[in-house]
Structure 1
Amino acid sequence: MHILIVAPERIPVPPVLGGSVEISILAIAKQLARLHQVTIVSRAHSRYPRQSVIDGVHIHRVPTGQPKKYLQHVINFMQNKKFDLIQIDNRPRFVGPIKRAAVDTPISLFLHSLTFVSPPYSTRRTATKDLALADLIIVNSSSLKSQLSTRYPGAAERIRQVWLGVDTGRFRPSRRRSAAKAFRVLFAGRLIPRKGVPVLLKAAKLAGRVSSRPIQVVIAGGSSRSGYANKLKALSRSLRVNARFLGAVPHTRIHRVFRRADIFVCPSQKHEAFGLVNVEAMSSGLPVIASSNGGIKEIVRHNRNGLLVKHYHRPKAFADAIVRLMNDSRLRNKLKQQAREDCLANFSWSASAKRLSDIYTTEFV
């Protein structure tokens, strides 16, 4: 099959810093390219040429700006070209115009979250129309499939689930033993309210009161709103928590940050469709403490490969989990070993691509 993947308009492929959707697009495309001809159309960026080939994947970059402008450039690129399948990632509003431009070509919509079928990006009526136009809808977790089916029952029969993955070669456990005095607790992700960084900082404060070892919170992630990042820094100072803010770390280097941590904490306060950072941490051999919500529960299994926090709005619940792992090295070692094994077995990009390829060949060949 010749598969065209249409990336969103905001972040280029490959992403310059980070962007889980764009990371996933390229990682899966490189694996798909072993079985199919794969072309990606993405936004232009000053760092990249208009065309390039990465591990057999042809990437064409077009001007961006407002979504309508980018979409028109995508459609212009498609003219006089033949594709067997078009996959649109995370942009339901693109389905209609692209379907009209490629009338006889099946359209797959790969949704990475509920964001773009929810206000303020879409109304229920508009999302229902957009989803109805897709021949197939791919989601990254059973949780997202369930939520989407409940909201839009007319689309339920066309939804298929494909877990995302991790580069298990790059995200691997460190061979060096840490000589740091402080117990390093890592958070990686966008600095936005729903990610729960204030809960983590307050949890570190509570854990520090009962621990014999000092705690350092390492926060890797940027924010489009500098005011919010400054609020988090101010909160850490007011709590007298040892917090190190790294800012936005390019995804090409983030694996090094994981290797220097003792544990990873994901304190998400709202539904997470999948939670890519959790499998990256697990593959890196880090015990994970995560909110028990959404697709996270499909990845992190309580007391098997990590710890799930049921009352994830409460800092004390995270504090208790942090202290438990600090004080129990046998449990830490058990969790990180199982986490690594689970990633190798279930969360490789090759497994993601095989599942997606099987779906496409079954449905469209």
Structure 2
Amino acid sequence: MHVLVVHNRYNSAQPSGENNVVDQEVALLREAGHRVEVFERRSDTIADRSLLAKAAVPLLVPWNPAVRSELAARLRTERPDVVHVHNVFPLLSPAVLAACADADVPAVATLHNYTQVCPPGTLQRDGKPCTECVGTTPLPAVRHGCYRGSRLATVPLAVSLSVNRRRWWSGVERFFCISAAQREVLVDAGMPAERLVVKHNFVPEPAARRTGEGEHVLYLGRLAEAKGVRLLMTAWDRLAAAGGVGVPLVIAGTGPLEQEVGAWSAGRDDVRYVGLYDPAQCREVIARSVAVVAPSTWLEAFGLVVVEAMAAGVPAVAAGHGAFVELVQDGVAGLLHRPGEPDSLASCIRRVTADPSRNRDMGRAARLRYEQGFSPAVGLARLEEGYRTAIAGRSGGGASPPPSRNGNAGSRWGIRAGRDGGST
């Protein structure tokens, strides 16, 4: 197939799992013999713009007419079979969907977060799950300043969500949800269920897999409140006060809490803050882990670092809500802690590090889970299936949508407590 991938790349100063997913899917499709081209914008370029051009960027968030014209012309010239849309914020905008309609090319879209129903895409406010805008107008997000703590910065996102809602729902043949938990939230919010299918992100076969018992507990990701970094620090302090777990905590990443994490870890033997690692370093540090910790307080739509750990044969300790519930087989391939509870997180870390034999069994189960559900072969098959269905639907082929895979999606909003010696 001939595929055109549309993506607004996130700022390179911050690690982006979404950028990685796009790059990996492009490489996978090309290796399989498909012709893949990319239409992109880069958020890095905003810094080089004039002050006037920078001030105009928020106006482009709901609609960028220049992008519509440029993309439509390219589509008419190149005639791809399908357009695969990823992120359109802030420089592309939903105008890419109008371009697809102009050129009569079917579009599919991967939903990497919850921006279809929540302006900042997090379903979180003040460190707690929030669904105030789901299924209704996004005025609460503006009132609370949910994007970057600013009402003014939230307005373009709220406007885009409001004016483009129907364009998204009618202009995309297939939405790829990256978890069943995410799909359930979106269906409950009114999105067309027949267009929403679950396609988990895949992870390439890692160059390194765990061979021994591991050397550390690892947090790898953005240093932000929503990722549970402060929760982890509290839990680790409680473990340290009780004598520790015998291995240090390694924290890799950057973000708003970087200075706080650096100050907290300074002078300690049981914590190492290593800053931002490149992809090769990330793969190596995962493979040397006793466990990877993902204590997010927001409802993760996926959880790439958890699957990367699985691929390396490393169990995860993750928050028992959102997508983690379907990714981590609790007690088999990892442990789920009660969301937002430092004692539960500390208990799970203690359990996963206390018994090397059980930890090895969990690592083997995690690897098997990866092979069965998140390998490149599985990812390619699901991509191709989605593309074929979208192409057939636009051409009048009458193909019925693939069956949805709801799995155990949790409660109405994908919220489920994990088990830590208690009930869910």
TM-score (norm 2): 0.71
The correspondence of residues 1-365 of structure 1 with structure 2, limited to 5 A, is 1-11=1-11, 18-33=15-30, 34-43=32-41, 68=64, 71=67, 74-75=71-72, 77-78=74-75, 80-91=77-88, 93-102=94-103, 104-115=104-115, 117-119=117-119, 120=154, 121-123=157-159, 124-132=161-169, 133-153=171-191, 155-170=192-207, 172-175=208-211, 184-211=216-243, 213-223=245-255, 225=256, 228-236=257-265, 242-309=270-337, 311-365=338-392
Return the alpha-carbon distance in structure 1 between the equivalents of residues 367 and 66 of structure 2. 39
Cα gap change, 1:152/1:128 in structure 2, threshold over 3 Å: closer, same or farther?
Answer: farther
Cα gap change, 1:136/1:248 in structure 2, threshold over 3 Å: closer, same or farther?
Answer: same
Return the alpha-carbon distance in structure 1 between the equivalents of residues 308 and 83 of structure 2. 28
**Structure 2: which amino acid aligns with 1:230?**
Q
| Matched position secondary structure for 2:79 | coil
What is the CA-CA distance between 1:97 and the residue it aligns to? Answer: 3.3
| Matched position secondary structure for 1:5 | strand
**Aligned 8 A contact 2:245 2:354 in 1:** no
**Structure 2: which amino acid aligns with 1:80?**
T
Cα gap change, 1:148/1:177 in structure 2, threshold over 3 Å: closer, same or farther?
Answer: closer
What is the CA-CA distance between 1:142 and the residue it aligns to? Answer: 0.8
| Matched position secondary structure for 1:118 | coil
Aligned residue for 1:51?
none
Aligned residue for 1:59?
none
| Matched position secondary structure for 1:83 | coil
**Aligned 8 A contact 2:187 2:193 in 1:** yes
**Aligned 8 A contact 1:203 1:316 in 2:** yes
Cα gap change, 1:219/1:75 in structure 2, threshold over 3 Å: closer, same or farther?
Answer: farther
* Percent pairwise identity: 24
- Map Cα deviations across residues 118-144 of structure 1 (whole Å, 9 max, x no partner): 223235533522322222211111111
Cα gap change, 1:198/1:45 in structure 2, threshold over 3 Å: closer, same or farther?
Answer: closer
**Aligned 8 A contact 1:269 1:291 in 2:** yes
What is the CA-CA distance between 1:342 and the residue it aligns to? Answer: 1.1
Q: Supply the RMSD in Å over aligned alpha carbons.
A: 2.7
Return the alpha-carbon distance in structure 2 between the equivalents of residues 212 and 205 of structure 1. 9
What is the CA-CA distance between 1:166 and the residue it aligns to? Answer: 1.1
5+ residue gaps in structure 2? 45-56, 120-153, 393-424
What is the CA-CA distance between 1:285 and the residue it aligns to? Answer: 1.8
Cα gap change, 1:344/1:272 in structure 2, threshold over 3 Å: closer, same or farther?
Answer: same
Return the alpha-carbon distance in structure 1 between the equivalents of residues 227 and 245 of structure 2. 26
Cα gap change, 1:196/1:213 in structure 2, threshold over 3 Å: closer, same or farther?
Answer: closer
What is the CA-CA distance between 1:41 and the residue it aligns to? Answer: 2.3
| Matched position secondary structure for 1:294 | coil
Aligned residue for 1:56?
none
What is the CA-CA distance between 1:173 and the residue it aligns to? Answer: 1.9
Stretch of structure 1 that moved more, 247-256 or 298-307: 247-256
**Aligned 8 A contact 1:143 1:295 in 2:** yes
| Matched position secondary structure for 2:83 | strand
The total of aligned residue pairs comes to 332
What is the CA-CA distance between 1:95 and the residue it aligns to? Answer: 4.1
**Structure 2: which amino acid aligns with 1:173?**
R
| Matched position secondary structure for 1:244 | strand
Cα gap change, 1:86/1:345 in structure 2, threshold over 3 Å: closer, same or farther?
Answer: same
Cα gap change, 1:110/1:210 in structure 2, threshold over 3 Å: closer, same or farther?
Answer: same
**Aligned 8 A contact 2:306 2:316 in 1:** yes
